[in-house]
Each structure stands twice: as structure tokens, then as C-alpha cells.
Chain A
Amino acid sequence: MVGINVLLVDDEESFRKTLGKRLGKRGIVVEEAGTGEEALEKLAAHVPDVILLDVKMPGMDGLTALNKIKQKEPLVEVVMLTGHASMEIAIRGMELGAFDYLMKPVEFEELLYKLEDAAKRKRHQESRIEARTQFR
């Protein structure tokens, strides 16, 4: 778990800050972004392992952001945060290549496991790609 890089994208600053602190306490390196645009900027500077993305945000909405993220960095795993009423958004997100979705408010332990799984999968994918390039 230690050493996972997570980009936290949510328009609620308090949520972002507190969750960031809690994840930080568990050894996760957290970066934060308040909007989809900001998240894309941060992505350009540094690629995290997992992006935790709120799908309902003012400005660029979650699905658009997800689409752009996947275009830029296909290997980054995205875990979506959705509300109850936006199930179809979650499904659309899965189609667009998100790793999974979580309903707000999230169970912290579940979130940790999800992040861990996502990071594992990303590393697994990366190692497969690496192996493939080595063999070639």
C-alpha cells in the first residue's frame, strides 16, 4: 500500500483535504485537484497510479474528464465517486475504461482496498508491457 500515488479530484475542498490527510496517514502519496481541468494539468506534470474522480463537478464533468484522462494516460486507473442517482453515469464510466466506482459517502476501508487493487492492476499492466517490450 505504501507508495501508491493517488490523484484526488473533487470539487469539495473539505472532502479532498480530509480524505487526503487520512490517506496520507496510511502512506499513500496524495495529490489534489478541484476540477477536471486542474486534474488534467496535474496529470501532465506527474502521472499518478490511481485517480479518484468525482463524476459530478461544476465545469468539466467527470465523464469528460475520464475520457480525456484515458486518452492521455491509458494506463492510469480511475476509480469513480458517484451519487446514488447517477448510476448510469457510473456504467458509462465503466464503459469508458474506469477501474471501478464507489458510492458516496464511501466506506474508507473499501476505498483503501479499491485503491490498492487499482494500483496493483496498474503495476501489473505496466510490468506486462515492460516484459513485452523486453521480449521484442
Chain B
Amino acid sequence: MSDAIYYQGLVKSMMFIIILVSFAPLVIIVLIAGYQYSIVYEEKVEAHLRELVLKHDQSVDSYLEEKVAEIQVLSEVIDIESLADQSRLKELHDALVRWHGTAFVDLGLIDGRGIQVAYSGPYNLQGVDYADEAWLREVRERNVHVSDVGLGRRGVPHFTISLRLESKGREWFLRTTLDFIAFNRLVEDIHIGETGMAYIINRQAEFQTTPRRDMTGEIPFLRELVSDSNSAIAKGRASMTIQTNPATGRETIFVTSAIKDGDWILVYQQETADAYADLNRSRDLAVVVLLLGGVAIIVMAYLMSRRMARRIERADLDKESMNEQVIEAGKLASVGELAAGIAHEINNPVAIMVEEAGWIQDLLEEGLAEGDNDREVQRALNQIRTQGGRCKEITHKLLSFARKIDPTVKHFCLNELVHEIVALSEQRAKYANVVIETSLADNIPPLEASPSEMQQVFLNLVNNAIDAMDPGGGNLDIASRLDGNQVVVAITDTGCGIPRANLSRIFDPFFTTKPVGKGTGLGLSIIYGIINKMGGTISVNSAVDQGTTFTLRLPVGEVADSAACEVGGGDAA
């Protein structure tokens, strides 16, 4: 279970790293490049719009100036009498129309009292009294006047150019109406994107050209925008401002330019989103690419880390089974070491049995009646039975150990195990002149580990200890005690000890000081692996020619029936 969590954690951390490493540069590039690109692009768009407005405000101004200049030429070249003459005026107007198209809709001469004395045009406006008109006052003051666009008397949008003339002490006014449609076309053609359009308004935000859509809702806003006559918007050329248009509720770019000496303002407006549509499109594209890339990265990271984790898991499993094989091999090696002792141990009773059998044969040849041969045969048979029992005991002990290592974790009693191992090694110890002593605490709770692996641990340690004391013999002391939630087992010998130089290497696999063919060098490394696996520690303390102590610290298993062991341990002892 914990293994599954471990591998899940592995998948997660691998995924996290892959995603981080892949995303970080992607996001950084997109952010930096996107930022730079948008700045450049916005500047381009703004420059383009300014350019556009500048070009058009010039053309509007020059259109007006041109028309004014033409009328001015007329007024200077032609005398008042000719202008006042209806038929001459008509001729003049016809010539203007012929050469200037329909730009000049009509032409009229107004006398000093404001009465139109001569008129040529589509409307019947001869004799009309303009005395109270605002434009008349204006033209009296300034000599030239270009009116705002209005419906006037004819009920059609138009604007007029008026000139003040003086002839023989009398005041005259030459007035022409300009074609609104032609004028409108000057700005009407500015048409960019969905919402980009241009129009001309006066200071009161009255439209001087017809906007492409109904903009009555925006008039108060526009009035506010242009009312401040000192602001850059009102005065400057192609000044740009970005504001939220209350009529549409969208952010809108306004580029404004004052024309006609600041009376009118050319306004170009376009919704920001529309103006930057290309930018937004490429931003959206980048976001989509980023998202798709992100999804791809996440999916790939997930699949890859899962595959990696699975491989690692498989490798771990392989390693584990390899470990088991190594442990098995190590076990065989320690069994082999035991075999020498065991063979002798078995040989002794067998030899006795053979001799007893031979003795019985001898006695039978002699005849049972002879002396107390009868009883002697009885004794010999008993002896054979006893020695047979001894053999059986030895083989049982060996068999119980030599079974395949079972890594299943169980609860087992340490003291029992120690007694088993001691019993198994007793004979070997005897011939090596080693006295094994055990001082085991009664209160050792059951441990959680594989009993056969623990057998291996203790057998190896005891074998090593006996080897260390051979020849010469010594004492082998196995002590156990409970220390908090750990069981401490110390295996102390009075053998040759381990030189300091070797101490750090004794747990390395294949490290051995025994001659080739005598030791695998696996024993202690296997022990180390087993103890580590069960969460314990093994430490060594050694002095040359004094002896060695191996100390195992094993975690106590989590079991309630800790009393079970004391009884069991007692039985085994």
C-alpha cells in the first residue's frame, strides 16, 4: 500500500518537474514576445490613425480654403453690378458648376440690409431677408464666414461660405452654398475595421458630417470631450485619447484634430478592441497555442512519468527478487558453513550406531547365553535408539533452517529464535571451544519481520562470531533488552576483532577477509539489507584481539498481545 503511495508521489514529482521545466520557458517567451509585440503593434496602429487623421484634417481644411479662395477670386474679379444682375450671376454660377462639379449648389448676392438681391440655384430664395441671421453678423465682423452645417430655410443639410464686399461705400455679401454630399465624402470614406469612422463636429458637438451610424446617444459625451476649448483635444492636431464610450460601453480610441480655425473638430473614433483586432487575434492564437501546448505537456508529462514510475517499480521489483536470490545464496553459504559442523555432529552418532551394531554382531557370534551378553545386547540396542534420536534431532534442526527463505512478515518471538540458533550452532561452538551464553530479557514483545530472514541474520552473526574465535575459543554472549519501542540485541564475541581499516567496509557486498572459496562476503551485507528493510539498524563495535559487538536495534511490531511472547519464549528456552 505504502509502495503505491510512494510510486504515486514519484509520478507527481516527476510530472511537476517536467511541467515546470517545459512551461517556464514557454510562458516566459510568450509573455515577453507578446508584450513587446503588443507594444510595437499598438504604436503602429496609433501612428497609423494619427497619420490618417492628419491627412484628412488637412484635406478638409484645404477643401474649405480652396472654396473660400474661389469665391474670393470671383468677388475681386467681377464687379458688384454684374453680380447683382440676375442673369450674369446665373451665368457665373453655371460656369462654376461646369468646372467645379456640383460643389457650388447656389450663389447669391445680399445687400447691406440683408436682402438677397440676386440668386442662382435650385431654390427660389430671391428677395429673402437674412437681416437677423447669425452668419450675417459674423461676416460683417470677419469679412469671411463659413457656416456650420444646418438645415436652414430649405430643410436640407448644407453649409455656406459668405464674403463681405465693399463697393462705393455700400456693403454687399456674396454667399454660396456648398454641396454637403461632396463635403461629407471627405470624411465619410474613412472607414477602418468594424467601428472605425470619422466625422466632423462643431464645438457644440453638432454633427457637421453624417456619421455612418446613428450617434445621437453619444452627443453629450462628445460635447464633454470637445467642450473644453483649452484642452489638447480641442486645440491639437491628431491628439489621441482612449475613453470608455458611454453609449456603447466599450473602450474607444478618439483621435481628434481641430480644423477650420478650431471651430470644427475632426473626430476619428474606433473601438479599441476593433483597432487592435489583429493584435487580439494573434494574442488569442498565442493563448490557444499555449493552452493546447499546455494540455499536450500535461498529458505527456503524466504519461511519461507514469511510464517511468512503472519502469522504476518494475526495476525495484526485479531488485527485490534479486535481493531475495542473493539472500538465498547467502543462506546457502551459511548453511554450507554449518555443514562442516553438522556433518561431524551426524557422523558421531552414526559412528556409535555402527560400532554398537558391530558389537551386537560380536556378541551374537559368541552366543547370548554367554556371561551377561544378553544384557549387553539390550544396552547396545538402547544406545542405537538413543543415537538415532540424536540424528533425527540434528536433521530436523537443519531442515527447519534450510527451507526456502520466506520473506513474509510475521510476528515472531525473538528469544525463541535466539534459542533455535544457539541450539543449531551449539555443536559447532563446542568444537571451536566457544561457550555461548544468552541473557535475554523476558519482556521482549513480538517483532514484525520475516522469521526465516531473522534466522539468517542471527545464524550469520553467530557463525561470524565463532569464526572470529577460531582457533582458541572464547565466549559468545547474546543479550536482548527492551529500549523504549526498540529491541536491542547485542552479540558479543571475544574473538580477533575487526581492524579499524575494515570497519567501514564490512557491510559492503563481497567484502571478505576470508581466503578465496571460504566466504562469499555477502553475509553482513545481506544482514544489513534485512535489518534496514524492517526499519532497524545494525552497528558494530570492535577492538582488535578484544572482540566484536554487533548491536541490532529492531522496531517493536504493533501488536496488542505482547504477552504472547513471554510464554512462547519461556517454552522455547
Contacts and interface: CB of A to CB of B under 8 A. Distances in A.
Contacts of B362: 22, 25
Specify which of B347, B387, B471 lies most central, judged by the most chain A CB atoms within 10 Å of its CB: B347
A32 B355 CA distance: 16
Contacts of A25: 362
B350 A105 contact: yes
A104 B431 contact: no
Contacts of A15: 348, 351-352, 355
A21 interface: yes
A14 B383 contact: yes
A13 B352 CA distance: 9
B431 A18 contact: no
A23 to B, nearest CB: 10
B385 interface: no
A18 B347 contact: no
A105 B383 CA distance: 16
A18 B355 contact: yes
A108 interface: yes
Interface string A39-62: 000000000000000001111010
**Interface of chain B, helix or strand or loop or mixed?**
helix
A58 B358 contact: no
B383 A61 contact: no
B343 A12 contact: no
A58 B347 contact: no
Contacts of A22: 355, 358-359, 362
Contacts of B356: 14, 18
Contacts of B358: 18, 22, 108
Interface residues of A, number: 22
B344 interface: yes
Contact of B344 (A14, A56, A59, A108): A56
Interface string B93-134: 000000000000000000000000000000000000000000
Specify which of A12, A18, A106 lies most central, judged by the most chain B CB atoms within 10 Å of its CB: A18
Contacts of A81: 351
Contact of A106 (B348, B351, B471): B351
B433 interface: yes
B28 interface: no
A21 B359 contact: yes
Interface string B327-362: 000000000000110011001101111111011001
A86 interface: yes
Contacts of B352: 12, 14-15, 18
Interface in A62-109: 81, 83-86, 104-106, 108
Contacts of A1: none
B343 A83 contact: yes
Contacts of A106: 351, 354
Nearest to A103: B347
A50 to B, nearest CB: 17
Contacts of A12: 348, 351-352
A19 B359 CA distance: 8
Specify which of A59, A83, A86 lies most central, judged by the most chain B CB atoms within 10 Å of its CB: A83
B344 A83 contact: yes
Nearest to B354: A105
B380 A57 contact: no
B430 interface: yes
A104 B383 contact: no
Contact of B340 (A18, A85, A108): A85
Nearest to B376: A21
Given A12-B352, A58-B433, A105-B354, A18 B359 contact: yes
Nearest to A14: B352
A104 B359 contact: no
A57 B471 CA distance: 12
B355 A61 contact: no
A104 B353 CA distance: 11
B471 A61 contact: yes
Given A22-B355, A108-B358, A56 B431 contact: yes
A22 B380 CA distance: 12
Contacts of A108: 354-355, 358
B11 to A, nearest CB: 53
B383 A18 contact: yes
Nearest to B470: A61
Interface string B531-560: 000000000000000000000000000000
Given A12-B348, A18-B380, A25-B362, A84 B343 contact: yes
Contact of B347 (A21, A61, A84): A84
A104 B430 contact: no
Given A14-B352, A18-B352, A83 B347 contact: yes
Interface string A1-41: 00000000000101100110110010000000000000000
A123 B347 CA distance: 32
Nearest to A64: B471
Closest CB pairs A-B (n = 4) = A105-B351, A85-B340, A105-B354, A83-B344
Interface of B: 339-340, 343-344, 347-348, 350-356, 358-359, 362, 380, 383, 387, 430-431, 433, 471
23 contacts: A12-B348, A14-B356, A15-B351, A18-B352, A18-B355, A18-B359, A18-B383, A22-B355, A22-B358, A22-B362, A25-B362, A57-B431, A58-B433, A61-B431, A83-B347, A84-B343, A84-B347, A85-B344, A104-B348, A105-B347, A105-B351, A108-B355, A108-B358
Interface of A: 12, 14-15, 18-19, 21-22, 25, 56-59, 61, 81, 83-86, 104-106, 108
Given A22-B362, A86-B340, 12 more contacts: A12-B348, A12-B352, A14-B383, A18-B352, A19-B355, A56-B431, A84-B347, A85-B339, A85-B343, A86-B344, A104-B347, A106-B351
